[in-house]
């Protein structure tokens, strides 16, 4: 809130120390670090779970009560827990191998998605 209220320009080191950013890189190391993070996400995460989690994080920020997020999260856990991606995640862990998630965002998002109503603007 201090940064918002004061409008003060602050160095990257302060943002890192306060936890606003996860890492700071020299310019020539920034893209390689971003690519490593992207590869980690792609290699270890279900695309369907990631897409749904991203929407939940962004869309729940403006909710007036935490129960709204709880309701959506509960539906997601119930829906995704029985998918081939969930099975693959457990199997790959047990077999100590990289996962090969079969789910696709284009076809395998849960039936309640999207759960929000788009606002209208006049």
- Predicted confidence at residue 11, as pLDDT, reads 95
**Angle of helix 47-60 relative to helix 66-80, nearest 10 degrees?**
170
Q: What is the DSSP letter of 117?
A: P
CA quadruple 7, 62, 79, 110: dihedral, nearest 10: -90
Contact 89, 46 (CB under 8 A): yes
Residue 112: other Cβ atoms inside 10 A: 12
The segments of the chain whose pLDDT lies below 70 read none
Give the separation between CA 82 and CA 105, rounded to whole angstroms. 16
Domains and CATH numbers, the chain: 46-115 (1.10.12.10)
Cut 0.75: pTM above it = yes
């Amino acid at each position: 809130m201090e940064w918002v209220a004061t409008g003060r320009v602050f160095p990257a080191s302060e943002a890192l120390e306060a936890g606003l950013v996860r890492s700071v890189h020299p310019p020539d190391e920034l893209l390689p670090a971003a690519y490593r993070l992207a590869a980690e996400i792609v290699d270890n995460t279900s695309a369907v779970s990631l897409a749904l989690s991203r929407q939940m994080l962004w869309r729940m920020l403006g909710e007036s009560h935490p129960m709204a997020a709880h309701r959506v999260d509960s539906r997601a856990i119930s829906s995704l827990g029985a998918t081939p991606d969930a099975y693959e995640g457990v199997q790959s862990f047990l077999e100590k191998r990289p996962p090969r998630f079969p789910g696709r965002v284009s076809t395998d998002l849960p039936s309640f998605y999207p759960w929000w109503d788009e606002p209208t603007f006049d």
